[in-house]
Every structure is written in structure tokens, then in C-alpha cells.
Amino acid sequence: MKTMVSAGVSLVLAVLLMAGCRTSARSMGAPEAAPGQPGGAAGSVHEIADGATLSGTVKFEGDAPRVRKNSAEADGVCHKAHPEGVPSESMLVGKDGGLANVVVWLKGGVNGTFEAPKTPALLNQEGCVYKPHVVTLMVGQTLEIKNSDGTAHNVHTLSKLNPEMNFAQPAPGSENKTFGSPEIFKVKCDIHGWMSAVVGVFKHPFFAVSDADGKFEIKGLPDGEYVVEAWHEKLGKQEGKVKISGGAAQTLDFSFSDEE
């Protein structure tokens, strides 16, 4: 498996690149800051509104893989929602090569503490799939886990740094959870084997998830030098560096491939 990073420059400030990381995403752990990073963000969420914006695109190099479909015939409610099978969202590549569902976050260079938002993040079970497939939130922020289906589900978190959860959820139902440690982990339903999601928990608010076109945007960055990580559940993770100065917007692009 090979990963590559490319960077674009906004205005006159240079974007420094770091070689891609070949670590597999299957070994998920805490999204900890890299040691010894100078400068960076400090303060609370309320102090970052006027910072710079980091944006970019995550691409998949090569032929887009076919989307796998899983049979839902064992559950009448799920089969009605997906008579042709449930499409997997673990590997979604757009028509122009944009890679969806990539978690992009500041791994290093962030200083200070940040207040968690009062608004809950939402992970909904709807149509016998998790929506969204990737949900991100801060340590201490509430995650509402909701069942909007007409059938029962099971929520099983495969977390390592946070207490593992494994509970049944009737239809309809809702549970509020919080997490005390930064970590990226998977969630699955033991009743419906195709159902899976990714939860990313961070100490700061500087994170995003790439959309259907592979685009992402992180707002409110103070001046500083940062290590940026892009994480995908199948293709692994890679890193880049970016320098924010004078509040100027910056761009940083990532490119993944799946070459054995």
C-alpha cells in the first residue's frame, strides 16, 4: 500500500510537505499531537472564529473500486430499504477521483485547551445504515446515537482508549454518549453485519471529513506551523505540513492509492 501527499500554496506562503505515512488505518488509536511542534492554536473555541481557513482535496489515484453491496434479505425492514443490497460506504470515490469519508485533522502544533460545543453530534441509524458514515466531535461533546428505523439495532463501539460500549437500541430509540479520550474508532451493529461507521474524537475543533468530491475545509486556524493528518479506514493515513501566517488561507491536498 502506498500513499502520497501533494500541497498547493495560497498567496505567497509556502506549504511544506511531509512524506506519506504507510501505517494501516486498521490499527486505530488516539489522535495525539506530535511532540515538539512550534507555535499553533491556543485558547477556546470562542477565540478562533477569525482564524485562517485550511482547505484541500483528497484524491484516489487509479481506477475507482466497485462499490460492494451487502444482502439485507434477513431483515424485512432493511431489505425493503435496500432491495438491491446495501452499498458499502467504506470506499467511495467520486467521478473525478475525490475520496470521501477521509478524516483530516491537525495532529501537531495545536496548543491550549478548547471548550467542547454544546450542540450534540449525531450518529443516526436510518435505512439500516449509519448516517453519517463518519462522525467527528470533541472530547466531552455529546454524541446522540439515534435509531430512526422500524427495526432494532445494536451499537458496538470498538474503542480502545474509551470504554467499549455494546448495547441494544430499540425502534425508535436514542442514547447520549460522551468520550473522555481522543481516538478514532469503528462502530458496528452486531445484528446487521454490514452496518459500520467511524467516530473521531479530538481535543480541539480543527478537524473535517472529506465530502463526496473529496473536498474538506478547516476554519479558524491561528498563525502557526501544523502537522496535518488524513486518515482513511481502508487506505491508511498520511501527513503533511502547513504554515499559517497573517491569517492567510492555505491549501493542502492529499492523494491515496491502493497499490500492493
Question: What DSSP letter does each residue of 123-165 carry, written as one string?
Answer: EEEETTEEESSEEEEETT--EEEEE-SSS-EEEEE--SSS---
**Which of 158, 192, 206, 197 has its CA nearest to residue 54?**
206
Q: In what order do the strands lie in the sheet with 183-188?
A: 134-138, 196-202, 183-188, 153-157, 166-169
| Helical spans, DSSP H, in the chain | 76-81
Report yes or no on 257 lying in a domain.
Answer: no
- As a whole number, mean pLDDT of residues 116-137 equals 98
Burial class (CB in 10 A: 0-12, 13-18, 19+), 72: buried
Confidence of residue 37 (pLDDT cuts 50, 70, 90): very low
Report yes or no on 81 lying in a domain.
Answer: yes
Q: Is pLDDT above 90 for 40? A: no
Q: Which three cell numbers stand for residue 205?
A: 475543533
- Residue 20's pLDDT is what? 40
- As a whole number, mean pLDDT of residues 27-50 equals 45
Report yes or no on 255 lying in a domain.
Answer: no
By residue range, what is the domain housing residue 25?
3-64+71-248
Q: Decide which of 125 and 171 is more confident.
A: 125
Answer whether 103's CB lies under 8 Å from 136's CB: yes
Q: Which three cell numbers stand for residue 14?
A: 509556502
- As a whole number, mean pLDDT of residues 175-192 equals 98
Q: Is pLDDT above 70 for 253? A: yes
Reported as a single tens digit per residue, the pLDDT across 151-171 is 999 999 999 999 999 999 998
Instruction: Give how many domains the chain has, as a whole number.
Output: 1
Q: Decide which of 37 and 149 is more confident.
A: 149
Report yes or no on 173 lying in a domain.
Answer: yes
Confidence of residue 1 (pLDDT cuts 50, 70, 90): very low
Please state the pTM of the whole predicted model. Answer: 0.83
Looking up residue 99, the CATH number of its domain turns out to be 2.60.40.420
Q: Return the SS3 of 65.
A: coil
- As a whole number, mean pLDDT of residues 242-258 equals 96
Confidence of residue 38 (pLDDT cuts 50, 70, 90): very low
Q: ∠58-26-148 over CA atoms, to 5°?
A: 80
Q: Is pLDDT above 50 for 43? A: no
| Mean pLDDT lowest among 64-68, 86-90, 238-242 | 64-68
Report yes or no on 219 lying in a domain.
Answer: yes
| 168: CB partners within 8 A, 6+ apart | 152, 153, 154
The Cα 1–Cα 21 span in angstroms is: 10
Q: Is pLDDT above 50 for 7? A: no
Q: Is pLDDT above 60 for 214? A: yes
Q: Give the residue carrying C-alpha cell 460522551.
A: 178
- Residue 97's pLDDT is what? 97
Report yes or no on 256 lying in a domain.
Answer: no
The Cα 239–Cα 226 span in angstroms is: 10
Q: Return the SS3 of 27.
A: coil
Question: Which residues face 207 on adjacent strands?
Answer: 105
Report yes or no on 258 lying in a domain.
Answer: no
Q: What is the CB-side half-sphere exposure of residue 23 using CA atoms within 13 A?
A: 12
Report yes or no on 34 lying in a domain.
Answer: yes
